[in-house]
Chains A and B, each alone.
Chain A
Amino acid sequence: QMQLQESGPGLVKPTQSLFLTCSVTGFSITSGYYWIWIRQSQGKHLEWMGYMTYSGETFYNPSLKSPISITRETSKNQFFLQLNSVTTEDTAMYYCAGGDDGTPDYWGQGVMVTVSS
Chain B
Amino acid sequence: DIQMTQSPASLSASLGETVSIECLASEDIYNNLAWYQQKPGKSPQLLIYYASSLQDGVPSRFSGSGSGTQYSLKINSLESEDAATYFCLQDSEYPRTFGGGTKLELK
Contact = CB atoms under 8 A, between A and B. Distances in A.
A115 B98 CA distance: 23
A63 B95 CA distance: 8
Interface in B69-92: 85, 87, 89, 91
Contact of A48 (B46, B85, B98, B101): B98
Interface residues on A, range: 20 to 34
Contacts, number: 47
B9 to A, nearest CB: 10
A103 B95 contact: no
A44 B34 contact: no
A104 B98 contact: no
B98 to A, nearest CB: 4
Contact of A110 (B1, B34, B43, B87): B43
B58 to A, nearest CB: 12
Query: B43, B89, B91: which has the most chain A beta carbons within 10 Å?
Result: B43
Interface string A46-87: 111010000000010111000000000000000000000000
Contacts of B89: 46, 48, 103-104
Interface of B: 1, 34, 42-46, 49, 55, 85, 87, 89, 91, 94-98, 100-101
Interface of A: 44-48, 50, 59, 61-63, 95, 101-105, 107-110
